Amino acid sequence: MIRRLWQIFLAPSSAVMILLFFIPLLIVLFYSLLSRGPYGGVMLPFSLESYGRVFDFLYLEIAWRSFWIAAIATLLCLVLGFPLALYIARYSQRKTLLLNLVMLPFWTSFLIRIYAWMFLLRDTGLINTVLLGAHLIDAPLPLLFNTPAVILGLVYGYLPFTVLPLYATIEKLDPALIDAAADLGANPLVVIWKIIIPLSKPGIIAGTLLVFIPCLGAYLAPDLMGGGKTVMIGNLVQNQFTASRDWPFGAAVSLLLMLAVVAITAAISRKAQDLI
Amino acid sequence: MMRRFLVLYAALAYLFLYAPLAVLAVFSFNSSKLSVWQGFTFHWYAAVFHNSALAEGAINSFLIATVATIFATTFGTLAAYALWKKRVPWLMQSFYLSLLTPEIVTGVSLLVLFQWIFRFLHLHLGMPTVILAHISFSLAYVVIVILARLRAFDTALEEAALDLGADEWEVFKLITIPIIMPGILAAALLCFTVSFDDYVITSLVAGVNSETLPMIIYGLARKGVSPDINALSMLITCGLGTLILLAGRLEHKTK
């Protein structure tokens, strides 16, 4: 009876995961091995051509660009998030409130937050309007529709994901270690560099994972803030299923992206386990 | 010294996080269409409420998020309870995998599934496909939030009820569910926001007559900035923000 109850409880979610998660991925795998149909879609014969095309210079360049954009965004999130996490964990009185304030924008619409930056950065946006009005510049600065803008969008979107795990590890540090170092004459920067950062490694690793993975598969930030000029893997996939109508190639790229995400997660979490 | 620097830094960091939204909020009341302050007006808010395309998008988004939330929360609560009692590694792993999957991959895989089914049935992409997609990607969020609540739950309460003669189902219905209810509601609110906000997956599986608010905003954002979108953005941000604060409060209660 009890066992049956659990099985009934698990049934709807298992059905959803099988029918709407695994089977779609299997169809993607199947399509990636077929040939491109004349009007989109797929047709026989089976072929590995889509996987071969991934190695075209054009697509390798997109993959490489996605990796380094995600890497820079992750690094910036860590560097920018660390002092904030340190402040909240060690110096503030209202930790919960401050942490919630970091998370709150994350839960509101990502699309709208990107739109807000577009409002600030575009040629006729607030920043350029103000600078032009003050006669500091003669022509609008090209702030939007370039790679730095994409990175800004990603950093803005995922900064909370480094602050949270960094806070969690710094908060748990034994204050006696920090006091001891300070007593022995280390200045605050040395304490941070030699004590706090090395001991925050689990938080750094978790933050890296939480930012790098979504950035690697990013779609909206490069699409809107890059203005179609900074193409990342996500945009490539979307394009194959819409404008280019090359479903087998889009399917192959999707699977490789998924594979990369899983492999990176596995590698990083293994590293994290070694530390603990 | 260090403290002063960090206080200043934290202030700048919060400015970075909130300034773009604050500027958008201010300019949603600007009577000029340009990025120059001209005067205060509610005109753009009135325009939002008189725009029939936006109204339709809002109704679609609301319907999709509501139906998806009801299903995902129900399924997710049941699954979380069973997973809390009994380890089912493949299901747990698949929830983590679904959280890990890039949205664009989830989107195209569902698109491919629906198109493949439509070869046999004469159906089209529309509200039902969007709702199915939303149930699929939000389920993992629900399960993980509720599992976290259950782990803080005192099993002695269940054991006491069992000792007093309740059966498993009665224990679940009369003891566990009422106690974790705030957690379930918090999960439902998060699920609603995630669903209401989604653009990437939705745009791939939506049909011509199921345009959602994020799809409309995306379309307009590509064309350029317009003040009624500023107003609409503020309404959505405040609405979702309220839901999240509510969810946070509920989650806090269960602890």
CB contact under 8 A, A20 and B110: yes
Q: Please indicate if any CB of chain B lies within 8 Å of the CB of A217.
A: yes
Return the minimum-mean-pLDDT range out of A37-46, A224-233, B16-25: A37-46
Above 90 in pLDDT, residue A7? no
Check residue B183 and give its pLDDT: 86
> What residues of chain B, 144 to 173, have a C-beta less than 8 Å from chain A?
167-169, 172
Token pair listed for A15 = 């059905």
Residues of chain B in contact with residue A92, where contact means CB-CB under 8 angstroms, are 10
Confidence of residue B247 (pLDDT cuts 50, 70, 90): confident
Residues 232-271 of A with CB under 8 A from B: 234, 237-238, 241, 247, 250-251, 254, 257-258, 261-262, 265
> How far is it, in rounded angstroms, from Cα A205 to Cα A199?
11
Please give the DSSP secondary-structure letter assigned to residue A45. S
Length of chain B in terms of residues written:
255
Binary contact (A109, B85; C-beta < 8 A)? no
Break chain B into its structural domains and give their ranges: 1-41, 52-254
Could you tell me which CATH class the domain B52-254 is placed in?
mainly alpha
Domains identified in chain A and CATH numbers: 63-275 (1.10.3720.10)
Q: Which residues of B touch A218 (CB under 8 A)?
A: 102
The secondary element (H helix, E strand) that includes residue A43 is strand A42-43
Q: Which of residues B224 and B238 earns the better pLDDT score?
A: B238
Are residues B102 and A216, on separate chains, in Cβ contact within 8 Å? yes
Q: Which residue has the higher pLDDT, B120 or A12?
A: A12
CB A106 within 8 A of CB A211: no
Tell me the mean pLDDT in the region B24-39.
Answer: 76
Sign of CA dihedral B151, B152, B154, B158: negative
Residues near B57 by beta carbon (within 8 Å), at least 6 away in sequence: B211, B212, B213, B215, B216
Backbone angles phi, psi at B133, to 5 degrees: -60, -45
The predicted-structure confidence for A199-220, as pLDDT tens digits, reads as follows: 888 889 989 999 999 999 999 9
- CA atoms of B241 and A84, how far apart (whole Å): 22
Contacts of A43 (CB under 8 A, 6+ apart): A34, A35, A36, A37
Nearest by CB to residue A10, choosing from B82, B113, B245, is B82
Q: Do B240 and A241 touch (CB under 8 A)?
A: no
Would you say residue B24 has pLDDT above 80? yes
Q: How close is the nearest chain A Cα to the Cα of B222, in Å? A: 7
B 190-219 → A contacts, CB under 8 A: 190, 193, 197, 199-200, 204, 214, 217-218
Q: How many beta-carbon pairs under 8 angstroms link A with B?
A: 233
Q: Is A177 in the B-facing interface, judged by CB distances under 8 Å?
A: no
Could you say which residues from 1 to 60 on chain A have a Cβ atom under 8 Å away from some Cβ of chain B? 1-2, 5-10, 12-14, 16-17, 20-25, 27-28, 31, 41
Hey, how many other C-beta atoms are within 10 angstroms of the C-beta on A245? 16
**Does the ipTM exceed 0.95?**
no
Which strand (E) or helix (H) includes residue B47? Answer: helix B43-49
Residue B125's pLDDT is: 83
According to the model, what pLDDT value does residue A2 have?
58
Instruction: Determine how many CB atoms are found less than 10 A away from the CB of residue B244.
Output: 22
Tell me which residue of B141, B143, B172 sits closest to B76, measured CA to CA. Answer: B143
- By Cβ distance, the residue of A9, A86, A120 closest to B20 is A120
Summarised one tens digit per residue, pLDDT across range B98-125 is 999 999 999 999 999 998 888 888 778 8
- DSSP helix/strand/coil, A219: coil
pLDDT at residue A257 is higher than 70:
yes
pLDDT(A276) > 70: no
pLDDT in tens, B83-98: 988 888 899 999 999 9
Distance from CA of B176 to the nearest CA of A (A): 14
Residues from chain B that touch A126, judged by Cβ atoms under 8 A, are 23, 27, 35
- To the nearest whole Å, the CA of A96 is away from the closest chain B CA by 11
| C-beta atoms of B104 and A234 within 8 A | yes
pTM: 0.88
Shortest alpha-carbon distance between residue A203 and chain B (Å): 18
**A contact residues 100-139, partner B, Cβ 8 Å cutoff:** 100-102, 104-105, 107-120, 122, 124-126, 129, 133
B residues 35-94 near A, CB within 8 Å? 35-36, 74-76, 78-79, 81-83, 85-86, 88, 91, 94
Q: Are B108 and A28 in contact (CB < 8 Å)?
A: yes
| Closest alpha carbon within chain A to B99 | A214
| Model confidence at A26: pLDDT above 90 | yes
